[in-house]
């Protein structure tokens, strides 16, 4: 038995609110990602886009609103978040449950043509560098020439002094916006654990593999760029940044 629309709407709204704590200028970052996808797919009748680590469809929904003619595939390993997305915004994307990078994950997406864009927010900081390089290679193989990978994530400079400075800039922005007053990630999941309708989905979630790096791989933007070039992308670089919140683009 599926979730009710009212329940899904409530919990997606809570998810959106708590996620503001973890991404400086989150909404603007989403907008920049959509800008890149729109520019890259200009003139195409039905561009194909994959959202990696989609959660409940935060980015997928925004892309679908901006580009209603696009076909979006939302990919995540979390069954509860995917079900919230399927219920709350069923027409925004086709939701696929698979772990990014596991053997056969590209085949599980059931793509019927080359991708025009692969997008992600705060998901590609988990894989180990060698695994991430392979993920980038697999994506490069299914992107059309000129297609893009657009990654919005927490990416610090390699220079420790600059890393501290960018973190401070982002921190001051968050304080001005008072986003730290929002419910945090741990509190959201603790509260979700008390919802009877979520019990079966949470039981499945408990059996899913956890990220190898719970705190992230710590790669800088420059290190991501190097892995992307090794994977076959021709052009790489950031197109937007505020504090440690960055949008990195790679062109196939």
**Residue-range domains of the chain with CATH:** 5-251 (3.40.50.150)
CA separation for the pair 243, 171 (Å, rounded): 8
Which pLDDT does position 165 carry in this prediction?
Answer: 85
The DSSP H or E segment spanning 134 is helix 129-142
CA separation for the pair 119, 15 (Å, rounded): 19
Q: What does pTM read for this prediction?
A: 0.93
pLDDT band at 193 (very low <50, low <70, confident <90, very high): very high
Q: Are 231 and 136 in contact (CB under 8 A)?
A: yes
Position with higher pLDDT, 179 vs 16: 16
* 122: three-class secondary structure by DSSP: coil
Which residues are bridge partners to 237 per DSSP? 249
Which pLDDT does position 174 carry in this prediction?
Answer: 73
Rounded average pLDDT over 35-61:
97
Residue 179 is given by DSSP the state G
Rounded average pLDDT over 187-201:
97
Rounded average pLDDT over 84-97:
98
Which pLDDT does position 178 carry in this prediction?
Answer: 66
pLDDT band at 172 (very low <50, low <70, confident <90, very high): confident
Rounded average pLDDT over 126-130:
93
Find the radius of gyration of the CA atoms of the chain. 18
């Amino acid at each position: 038995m599926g979730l009710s629309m009212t329940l899904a709407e409530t919990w997606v709204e809570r998810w959106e609110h708590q996620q503001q704590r973890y991404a400086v200028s989150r909404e603007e970052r989403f907008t920049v990602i959509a800008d890149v996808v729109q520019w890259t797919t200009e003139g195409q009748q039905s561009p194909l886009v994959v959202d990696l680590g989609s959660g409940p469809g935060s980015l997928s929904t925004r892309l679908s609103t901006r580009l209603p003619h696009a076909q979006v595939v939302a990919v995540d390993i979390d069954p509860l978040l995917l079900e919230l997305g399927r219920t709350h915004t069923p027409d925004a994307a086709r939701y696929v449950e698979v772990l990014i990078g596991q053997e056969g994950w590209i085949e599980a997406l059931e793509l019927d043509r080359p991708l025009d864009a692969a997008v992600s927010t705060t998901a590609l900081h988990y894989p180990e560098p060698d695994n991430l390089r392979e993920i980038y290679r697999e994506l490069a193989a299914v992107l059309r020439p000129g297609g893009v990978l657009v990654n919005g994530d927490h990416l610090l400079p390699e220079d420790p002094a600059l890393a501290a400075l960018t973190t401070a800039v982002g921190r001051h922005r968050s304080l001005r916006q008072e986003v730290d007053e929002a419910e945090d990630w741990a509190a959201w999941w603790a509260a979700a654990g008390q919802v009877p309708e979520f019990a079966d989905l949470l039981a499945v979630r408990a059996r899913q593999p956890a990220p190898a790096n719970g705190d992230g791989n710590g790669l800088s933007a420059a290190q991501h760029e190097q892995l992307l070039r090794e994977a076959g992308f021709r052009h790489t670089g950031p197109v937007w940044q505020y504090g440690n919140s960055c949008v990195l683009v790679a062109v196939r």
